[in-house]
Structure 1
Amino acid sequence: MTRRVPCPPAPGPLEAYAARFDGLFSDLAQRRGFREYLAGLLLPRDRNTTLTCLAGTEPVVGAQHAAVQRLQFFLFESRWDPEKINAHRVELLLNDSATASHRGGVLVVDDSGDRKDGSATARGGKQYLGSVGKVDRGVVTVTTCWADKRLYHPLRALPYTPAHHFPTGTAAPGFRSKLQIAGQLARRATAAGARFRAVAADAAYGDHHSFLHDLGEALLPFVVAVKPSHGSWAYGNIRTPLASPPWL
Structure 2
Amino acid sequence: MSARLSCPPAPGPLEAYAVQFDPLLKTPAQRHGFRTYLSGLLLPRDRSKTLTALVGAEPLVQAQAAQVQRLQFFLSEAAWDAEAINAQRLALLAAEPATAPSAAGVLVIDDTGDRKDGSATDHVARQYLGSVGKIDNGIVAVTTLWADEECYYPLHVMPYTPEKRLAGGKQDPAFRSKPQIALDLVEQAQAAGVPFCAIVADCFYGDNNGLETALLKRGLPHVLARRGAVGRGWAPAQADHSFKDVAQALPLRAWREVIRRFRDGHTERWWAAELTLFGYGPGRPVRAICATTDRRALPELSTWYLTTNLPAPLAEIVRIYGLRNWIEQGYKQMKDELGWADFMVRSDRAIRRHWTLVCCAFAFCWWHHALQAHADDSPLPGIPEAPPEAGKKNQPRQGAAVLAAPAARRARLADPGVLAGALLARLCRHALAGRTRRAARRPEHRPRD
Tell me the TM-score normalized by structure 2. Answer: 0.51
Equivalents in 2 of 1:25, 1:128: separation in Å? 36
Alpha carbons 2:141, 2:159 under 8 Å: kept: yes
Alpha carbons 2:9, 2:36 under 8 Å: kept: no
What are the superposed Cα offsets for residues 126-175 of structure 1, whole Å, 9 maximum, x if unpaired? 11000111001111000001111111111010001111222211122221
Q: Which residue of 2 aligns with 1:89?
A: 89
Alpha carbons 1:147, 1:153 under 8 Å: kept: yes
SS at match of 1:153: strand
Q: Which residue of 1 aligns with 2:410?
A: none
What are the superposed Cα offsets for residues 190-227 of structure 1, whole Å, 9 maximum, x if unpaired? 11111111111111111111111222233221112111
Q: Which residue of 2 aligns with 1:35?
A: 35
Q: How far 1:90 moved relative to its partner?
A: 1.2
Equivalents in 1 of 2:9, 2:120: separation in Å? 37
Q: How far 1:48 moved relative to its partner?
A: 5.1
Question: Counterparts in 2 of 1:68-217, with a 5 A limit?
Answer: 68-217=68-217
Alpha carbons 2:129, 2:140 under 8 Å: kept: yes
Gaps of 5+ in 2: 1-7, 234-238, 255-449
Q: How many residues align structurally?
A: 238
Equivalents in 2 of 1:104, 1:46: separation in Å? 38
Gap change, CA 1:213 and 1:201, over 3 Å in 2:
same
What are the superposed Cα offsets for residues 214-241 of structure 1, whole Å, 9 maximum, x if unpaired? 22233221112111223458xxx64422
Alpha carbons 2:9, 2:39 under 8 Å: kept: no
Gaps of 5+ in 1: 1-7
What are the superposed Cα offsets for residues 39-78 of structure 1, whole Å, 9 maximum, x if unpaired? 1111112345411222223333332333322211110111
Question: Counterparts in 2 of 1:206-245, with a 5 A limit?
Answer: 206-231=206-231, 238-243=240-245, 244=247, 245=249
Equivalents in 1 of 2:90, 2:169: separation in Å? 33
Alpha carbons 2:40, 2:49 under 8 Å: kept: no
Alpha carbons 1:48, 1:54 under 8 Å: kept: no
SS at match of 2:214: helix
Alpha carbons 1:114, 1:138 under 8 Å: kept: yes
Residue type of the alignment partner of 2:29: A
Tell me the TM-score normalized by structure 1. Answer: 0.89
More contact order relative to length (CA 8 Å, sep ≥ 6): 2
Alpha carbons 1:40, 1:48 under 8 Å: kept: no
Q: Percent identity?
A: 54
Higher deviation after alignment, 125-134 or 53-62: 53-62
Gap change, CA 1:48 and 1:90, over 3 Å in 2:
farther
